[in-house]
């Protein structure tokens, strides 16, 4: 969507502390992939992240602002389609979960998307990911569809995806 001038980083607060958000770099991939593998049963591959960066998707990392060095605690990948932001991936380090960081990250992503002209944000989520569903629903997302057999599951099975949408502006 519209490219606004960007500061090197922005800061946001959560119950778990203050986070810095900045654009993801290739040098962040080791830390991002480590978190991805911790928190998802079927994690994205390095290639998924490399492809997202190469495609020009918004790729963000969230770092603990009070850490002595870069302490990456989360990340997000957002793809833009005409006037909508599609949240492809959102991850919070296992050790940092349950402190409001995911909510703070999601709130920041929605504000950023709104500021840049998105009218809505869409995402897919596993029906078995109850924690994520609770976060999204409490943030105003509603289910608008189902993608059958979308995600890989145990023993070669497939799991549906719920498609969720949140309007960011009143029509």
CA count, 13 A, side-chain hemisphere, 27? 3
CA count, 13 A, side-chain hemisphere, 117? 8
124 is a catalytic site residue = yes
Q: How far is CA 18 from the centre of its chain?
A: 17
Task: Write down the H helix ranges in the chain.
Answer: 29-39, 46-54, 101-115, 130-138
Do residues 35 and 93 touch, judged by C-beta distance below 8 A? yes
Q: Which of 57, 63, 84, 136 is an active site residue? A: 136
Q: How far is CA 95 from the centre of its chain?
A: 17
Rounded Cα distance between 162 and 117, Å, is 25
Q: Which of 124, 130, 159, 171 is an active site residue? A: 124
DSSP state of 118: -
136 is a catalytic site residue = yes
Give me 19's structure tokens.
């986070």
Rounded Cα distance between 157 and 165, Å, is 26
Instruction: Kindly list the catalytic residues.
Output: 124, 136
């Amino acid at each position: 969507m519209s490219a606004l001038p960007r500061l090197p980083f922005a800061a946001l607060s959560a119950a778990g502390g203050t986070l810095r958000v900045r654009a993801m770099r290739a040098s962040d991939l080791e830390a991002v992939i480590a978190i991805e593998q911790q928190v998802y049963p079927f994690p994205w591959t390095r290639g998924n992240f490399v492809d997202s960066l190469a495609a020009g998707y918004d790729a963000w990392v969230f770092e603990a602002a009070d850490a002595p060095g870069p302490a990456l605690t989360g990340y997000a990948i957002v793809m833009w389609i005409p006037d909508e932001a599609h949240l492809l991936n959102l991850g919070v380090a296992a050790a940092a979960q349950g402190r409001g960081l995911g909510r703070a990250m999601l709130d920041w992503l929605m504000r950023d998307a709104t500021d840049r002209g998105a009218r809505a944000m869409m995402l897919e989520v596993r029906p078995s990911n109850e924690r994520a569903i609770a976060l999204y629903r409490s943030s105003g997302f509603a289910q608008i569809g189902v993608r059958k057999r979308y995600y890989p599951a145990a023993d070669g099975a497939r799991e549906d995806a719920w498609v969720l949408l949140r309007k960011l502006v009143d029509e």
